[in-house]
Amino acid sequence: MPSGPVPDRERLLYADVERYDDGRLTWNALRSWREGLPDISFFHHVPEAVRLTRAMQKLGMSSTAGLKTIADIWSAEPPSDAMTWQDSQDLTVRMLESLEDKG
């Protein structure tokens, strides 16, 4: 298992899947982002990146089934330089609808 200041800081910033030696997968959810920040008055709100990550987790995007759904949608049409904003939006809508359909 990684240890030290860099992995400790990254655990505050990133959600991740970890695999143990026995092959078991676990979800490393974000800890409180305030743990790694000084007590500065302008940090009285939750950063948008944290709000987005929490919303994605609530949608099930971080579960094994959710990650498979995302991979299935996006691997059918991988991002490329030819992809337009509308193409990306259409894939995102399909992905969200599929996640919602699967509960």
- 13-21 average pLDDT score: 76
- Distance from C-alpha of 37 to C-alpha of 21, rounded to nearest angstrom: 32
pLDDT (0 to 100) of residue 93: 94
- 51-65 average pLDDT score: 84
Exposure pattern of 7-32 as b/e (b: 16+ CB <10 Å)?
Answer: eeeebeeebeeeeeeeeeeeeeebee
pLDDT (0 to 100) of residue 97: 93
pLDDT (0 to 100) of residue 33: 52
Mean pLDDT score across all residues of the chain: 79
44 or 78, which is more confident?
Answer: 78
Tokens of 83: 């992809």
- For the chain, percent of residues with pLDDT exceeding 70: 76
Q: How far from the centroid of its chain's Cα atoms is residue 4's Cα?
A: 23
Least confident of 5-14, 46-55, 56-65: 5-14
Q: Which tens digits make up the pLDDT trace of 29-57?
A: 666 555 555 554 555 677 787 778 888 88
DSSP 8-state secondary structure symbol assigned to residue 53: H
